[in-house]
């Protein structure tokens, strides 16, 4: 998050518009890979903000490798989310309005492993039942994209 951290030095905690990508990774049983995040201590999808000059797909691929040690041969575009429902205030006070491209990773290579300091653990979850401590954004995208319909 070099670019965002550089902006924060100038604007402090005031709201920023932050563009980024999140990646949905499913195993053979259609369980979703989530990370327990170090910044919010809840479960969320893999993803993050764009760096300068980076495409949304490049950000998805970079975040997938950085956060889970995985490589996808391709990505299926699911949706873009933005607006007031994508507002978030981090526990340390930084505020953002996210513009988030949601992708599903296809043909995954590697075994999921914590690969940076942004997560405590990685785990696959069934979407047939609610996930305890699921962050609100992840639930929002999964509902909007039709992955969660039962709960």
Distance, CA of 74 to CA of 2 (rounded, Å): 25
pLDDT over 70 percentage in the chain:
99
Predicted local distance difference test score (pLDDT) of residue 142: 92
pTM for the predicted model, two decimal places: 0.90
Mean per-residue pLDDT over the chain, rounded: 93
Q: What is the pLDDT of residue 2?
A: 81
Band (pLDDT 50/70/90 cuts) for residue 1 is low
The string of pLDDT tens digits covering residues 45-81 is 999 999 999 999 999 999 999 999 999 999 999 999 9
pLDDT tens digits for range 7-54: 899 999 999 999 999 999 999 999 999 999 998 899 999 999 999 999
Terminal-residue alpha carbon distance, the chain = 33
CA atoms 83, 84, 85, 90: torsion sign? positive
The CATH number, out of the four listed (3.50.50.60, 3.30.2130.10, 3.30.1330.10, 3.90.79.10), of the domain defined by the range 2-143: 3.90.79.10
- For the segment 130-139, the average pLDDT, to the nearest whole number, is 91
Inform me whether the pLDDT recorded for 144 exceeds 90: no
Q: Is residue 108 over pLDDT 60?
A: yes
Tell me the C-alpha distance between 40 and 137, whole Å.
Answer: 12
Structure tokens at 22: 């999140």
The β-bridge relationship of strands 43-44 and 95-109 is unpaired
- Domain extents in the chain: 2-143
């Amino acid at each position: 998050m070099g670019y965002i951290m550089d902006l924060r030095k100038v604007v402090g905690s005031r709201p920023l518009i932050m563009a980024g990508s999140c990646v949905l990774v499913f195993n053979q049983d259609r369980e979703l890979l989530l990370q327990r995040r170090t910044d919010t201590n809840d479960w969320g999808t893999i993803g993050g903000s764009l760096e300068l000059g980076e495409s949304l797909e490049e950000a998805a691929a970079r975040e997938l490798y950085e956060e889970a040690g995985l490589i996808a041969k391709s990505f299926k575009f699911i949706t873009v989310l933005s607006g007031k429902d994508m507002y978030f205030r981090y526990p340390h006070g930084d505020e953002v309005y996210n513009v988030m491209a949601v992708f599903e990773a296809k043909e995954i290579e590697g075994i999921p492993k914590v690969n940076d300091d942004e997560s405590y653990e990685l785990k696959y979850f069934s979407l047939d039942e609610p996930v305890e401590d699921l962050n609100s954004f992840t639930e929002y995208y999964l509902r909007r994209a039709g992955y969660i319909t039962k709960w």
